[in-house]
């Protein structure tokens, strides 16, 4: 099982959909831990410290922050980017699949885009 950390860029429609349809998903939102206004590097650090894969919609800057973290030799437990144009249903189902059907080691140091079948 993969615990997820959802940044403030991800719409509540997706987070609520995951929580409502897949209650076994272990998910924490940035706003729940006081990081609603945090910078990308801080979100990545929190996710790593708390052993969670970060989920974001911010492909513009989050990739740079993730790559910088890896260049510095710092660990990263994974970054999942939800494409803004992705149907909510697909995002919800893919995040549930990641959380419920995989292991954290499968995502370590990787940047992955949703949908998973692309």
Considering the entire predicted model, what is its pTM? 0.94
How many CB atoms within 10 Å of residue 52? 20
59-110 tens-digit pLDDT: 889 999 999 999 999 999 999 999 989 999 999 999 999 999 999 999 999 9
Residue 11 tokens read as: 């719409």
User: Beta partners for 55?
Assistant: 6, 80
Cα separation, 62 vs 90, in Å, equals 21
Distance, CA of 92 to CA of 81 (rounded, Å): 13
pLDDT interval class at 15 (50, 70, 90): very high
Name every residue whose Cβ is closer than 8 Å to that of residue 34 and which is 6 or more positions away in sequence: none
pLDDT at 118: 64
| List of domains in the chain | 4-114 (3.40.50)
At 57, the pLDDT band (50, 70, 90 cuts) reads very high
pLDDT reported for residue 61:
92
């Amino acid at each position: 099982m993969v615990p997820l950390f959802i940044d403030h860029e991800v719409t509540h429609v997706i987070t609520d959909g995951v929580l409502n349809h897949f209650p076994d998903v272990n998910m924490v939102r940035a706003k729940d831990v006081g990081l609603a206004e945090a910078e990308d590097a801080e979100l990545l650090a929190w996710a790593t410290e708390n052993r969670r894969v970060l989920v974001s919609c911010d492909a513009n800057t989050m990739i740079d922050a993730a790559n910088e973290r890896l260049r510095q030799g710092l660990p990263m437990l994974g970054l999942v980017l939800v494409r803004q144009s992705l149907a909510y249903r697909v995002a919800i189902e893919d995040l549930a699949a990641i959380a419920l059907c995989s292991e954290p080691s499968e995502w370590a140091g990787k940047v992955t885009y949703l949908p998973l079948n692309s």
